[in-house]
Amino acid sequence: MAFAAIFLLYNPATCAIEDETRILSLASSMTQGTAFLDQARIDLDADLLCHGHRISKFFPFHAALLGPALVTHWRLGFPVSAGFFV
């Protein structure tokens, strides 16, 4: 509950949706062994082109922290992402 309250207070909805979508997409592609979103078959239309591949415009640190949660049990991503605010 505390995470949800802090999230609602500090993140506007439109920014939060884009940020979290991009970070989760990058985390998902990293769990498949690639940082290239097109190789992981993720198409978001707002990513960057680099040498013929699509890459995320967000830093991979948060995505790398969320990766183990996505692989084991996706609900573990909530406490992991709550730790980003600490």
Domain assignments of the chain as residue spans, ordered by start? 23-85
- Where residue 11 falls among pLDDT bands split at 50, 70, 90? low
Contacts of 26 (CB under 8 A, 6+ apart): 35, 37, 56, 58, 60, 63
Write the pLDDT tens digit of every residue in 23-65.
888 898 999 999 898 889 988 776 788 888 888 888 888 888 8
DSSP class per residue in 4-70: HHHHHHHS-HHHHHHHHHHHHHHHHHHHTT-SBTTTTT---SSSEEETTEEE-SS-HHHHHHHHHHH
CA 14 to chain centre: 15
% pLDDT > 90, the chain: 7
pLDDT averaged over the chain? 82
